[in-house]
Amino acid sequence: MASKADTIGARIRYWRMRRGGMSQAVLAGLAGVSQSYISQVESGRKTIDRRSTLVAVAAALQITVADLLGQGTETGDPARERAAECVPAIWSALIEIEDGERRPSILTREELAAGIARSEQLRHRSNFPAMAQMLPGLLLEAAAASGPALAQVAYQASACLRHLGYRHLALNAARVAVAAAEDVEEAAWLGATRFAYAQSLPIESAPLAARAADRSLAELQSAASDERVRQMLGQLHLSAALASTVSGRPDVARDHLTEAAREAATLGDPADGMGFNGCGFGPTNVTLWEMSIAAESGEPGRVIELSRTVRPQVLAASIRQMSYWLDLGRALADSGRRDNEAIAAFVRAEQAAPVPFSLNPLAQDAVVAMAQRAKRRAVPNELRLLAGRLGISLAA
């Protein structure tokens, strides 16, 4: 038997009981799913694979998706705890910057550039706890400097906070980044920071995220002669495609995917695997996003099919490689008959980006579901080891 108190299913049951003992049937009716589905999710035998379902269940329980995912609230994970110690200082720095205060700089321009480069390296390696330790001072130093430094560091802060589960603070950082990019009138950074803003919005705000991406696409068209801007236009199309899928607008999503693929075909994959601001935009990244969109659309077979057409190692950012293996693992696990392949994919995801994988509630739930299916037979040793690294106890 798998045991982890803080699965999505356990949280659903907790909040259902808090709502006057709401029955599974009532919750299912409000969320637009079946009672048997809710029962299987609560017991850990099934996972929630679609963001739109998370939104529906959270709304029915009158809570946020973040509450269901336990983002920014769970304790006991060393990586999360190391980062959590730095979050109040990051928040304080963001408030200070938003209030217009600027401290005198104590770093030279060269030292600031080196700090920004180091933070960027940590982002590409998905070492968000180490990155969080740098960000309070780096944000204040970037605010004291002229040019696009603040846009870049606030973008880094937004990405770091979002992957650690502090999406509300990630949104604050994204707003600081957008304002900084607007101040210096730098189109490429404006595109990057608007992308960060759309990514930081809560899942419940998918329609707003799609509209925000659309507005940014329109505003940046006049600067499309800049290759960096074109990369960000492509990223905004991908963001809008996923947000439109979550919002139940597959036709709009297809249009955005088509535009992203067209742009990627003319640019190709970045030679250094990174591209402007490490976005990695190109045909490979488009396919990775298409896999995520297929997963959101409830098409695991399509996810597996797409996975055969792409090599994620083309991209330098470990988080993109993790995304590939995580989406593939969840798709393989969905059938209930390919768990060994799913375990192998999850191990590859963990190897690519250990910290964000260990903090990912969807990964945790998929492992629990596989363990529940295996309880009548021997649990594979690889699954037992993986579960242990995620803090999931499997009875012998």
Cα–Cα dist 138/145, whole Å = 11
Query: Quick count: other Cβ atoms within 10 Å of Cβ 214?
Result: 18
Amino acid 217: pLDDT: 93
* Biggest CA pair distance of the chain: 65
Confidence of residue 75 (pLDDT cuts 50, 70, 90): low
- Among 69-73, 259-263, 363-367, the least confident range: 69-73
pTM of the model: 0.89
- Model confidence over 132-149: pLDDT tens digits? 999 999 999 999 997 799
Across the chain, mean pLDDT equals 89
Residue 238 clears pLDDT 60, i.e. is over it: yes
User: How far is residue 53 from each of residues 9, 28, 75, 246, 260, measured CA to CA in Å?
Assistant: 13, 11, 26, 9, 26
Structure tokens at 214: 């659309």
Q: Which of 28-37, 78-87, 357-366, 369-378 has the lowest mean pLDDT?
A: 369-378
Q: What average pLDDT does the segment 187-192 reach? A: 95
Q: Report how far apart, in Å, the C-alpha atoms of 97 and of each of 118, 136, 173, 179, 392 are.
A: 22, 11, 10, 11, 40
pLDDT band, very low/low/confident/very high, at 3 (cuts 50, 70, 90): very low
> What sign has the CA pseudo-torsion 205, 210, 212, 213?
positive
Give the pair of three-digit tokens for residue 265: 């075909």
Task: Give the tokens for residue 96.
Answer: 């200070």
CA dihedral sign, ordered 101, 103, 104, 106: negative
Question: 1: pLDDT confidence band, cut at 50, 70 and 90?
Answer: very low
